Copies of this chain bind each other. A is one copy, B any other.
């Protein structure tokens, strides 16, 4: 089984234009669609715009409203940063503030990983009094902030307002339990601001997804599969690692596809491949880039089909429409091919064609049982109290 996740691939049709999937030239995906079952999934729930972590939990069969894991925890897992009981972590964007303290660029011009490392080093050289603070570079402007100390609690609201021309939000508690920690984070950020003040770009941090150490039910045990994850971004390796996947870095989808036959030979039952590019283009609001990202995936579909994969699911973890330059609440096209999956005979893969598909519209956490079923991996249910 292969679950190919095209990050942020979903879009939506407006009166002005079709979605990116509909506009991209995708002969191979369309041909695949013709022999697949199509549908639309809601990553978290209707109307809910998911973060990538929540979107992925859904795809892996974990209801994101039940399994609440913050972005910080996923990022830590991706970076291989071990969390101790009581550590508080957040995903940090290195951003650029103007002299007046308003956000000029939430991503500091998508700075290089190299430059981000300089920023992290500057922060890590400081002493923060009662707490230990570590800023670990992830990729580009993305980093992890880990705060270790006594009595910390992750109930702190994001400081990232998710837009520019406003100042960052002051750290605020989400509950009574987070009051002291919000105060601590405020002190930490004040110091960070001073330390980075001499820099024109990349001179502050926007924090989101505060969380602490979490344990999730093991994916291979739950579904009785040997599972491997191929991803470029640490965050996605992190999600997979938290769930007990064997994880492997690949530089891009082409490399992932080249790895597939080997995994199939090695007896891996379930492979998750993450492709980040459609989301990056979506967040930039770059229609041509998003189409190109989709078309690049399309070009690799024949190789995927020849890799020995038996059941193939292609979908996204959420929509990132270029109209909005952000994640959105729209449902995401999904295609299930092979095994006992029906062939709907609809030779197009996009938001409109998927409406007509036999899978209908369903919560993302119901995808896994359908992949497993198509692969003949689920026993007959006859009132058992101890099944999946």
Interface string of A235-255 (1 = CB under 8 A from B): 000000000000000000000
Determine whether the beta carbon of B331 is less than 8 Å from that of A13.
Answer: no
The interface on chain A, measured as residues whose beta carbon lies within 8 A of the other chain's beta carbons, has a size of 69
Question: Bound complex: CA of A34 vs CA of B68, how far in Å?
Answer: 38
The interface bits of chain A over 261-290 (1 if a CB of B lies within 8 angstroms of the residue's CB, else 0) are 000000000000000000000000000000
Would you give the shortest CB distance from A327 to chain B, in whole angstroms? 6
A residues 81-133 in Cβ contact with B at 8 Å: none
- Name A381's contact: one of B54, B174, B356, B384 (CB within 8 Å): B54
Interface-facing stretch out of A141-149, A186-194, A361-369: A361-369
By beta carbon, the residue of chain B nearest A16 is B343
Residues of B contacting A162 with CB < 8 Å? Answer: 380
Residues in A1-29 with C-beta less than 8 Å from chain B: 12-15
Q: What is the 8 Å Cβ interface bit string for chain A, positions 364-378, against chain B (1 contact, 0 not)?
A: 001011111110001
Assess whether B360 is in contact with A64, with CB atoms less than 8 Å apart: no
Do B342 and A383 touch (CB < 8 A)?
no
- Which secondary structure dominates chain A's binding surface? loop
Q: Does A291 contact B (CB under 8 A)?
A: no
CB pair A382–B51 under 8 Å, yes or no, is yes
Asked if A348 is at the interface of the complex by the 8 Å CB criterion, the answer is no
**Is A351 located at the chain interface by the 8 A CB criterion?**
yes
Given the interface contacts A49-B373, A370-B47, does A330 sit within 8 Å of B342 by beta carbon?
yes
A14: chain B residues at CB < 8 Å are 342-343
Chain B contacts of A340 at CB under 8 A? 12, 321, 323-324, 328-330
Interface pair A50/B358, CB less than 8 Å apart: no
Beta-carbon nearest neighbor of A34 in chain B: B15
A372 surroundings in chain B (CB, below 8 A): 47
Known contacts being A342-B12, A351-B358, A355-B360, is A50 close to B382, with CB within 8 Å?
yes
- Per the 8 Å Cβ criterion, residues 323-345 of A in contact with B are 323-324, 327-331, 340, 342-345
A342 touching B13, Cβ below 8 Å: yes
CB of A384 within 8 A of CB of B12, answer: no
Establish whether residues B378 and A47, one from each chain, have CB atoms under 8 Å apart when the complex forms: yes
Q: Is A35's CB under 8 angstroms from B47's CB?
A: no
Measured between alpha carbons, how far is A255 from B71 in the docked complex, in Å? 49
Chain B residues closer than 8 Å to A257, beta-carbon distance: none
Q: Is A356 within 8 A of B356, CB to CB?
A: yes
Assess the B329–A383 pair: CB atoms within 8 A: no
* Chain B, residue nearest A341 (CB): B12
* Contact status B380-A51, CB under 8 Å: yes
Q: List 5 A-B contacts (CB under 8 A).
A: A47-B368, A50-B380, A175-B385, A344-B355, A352-B358
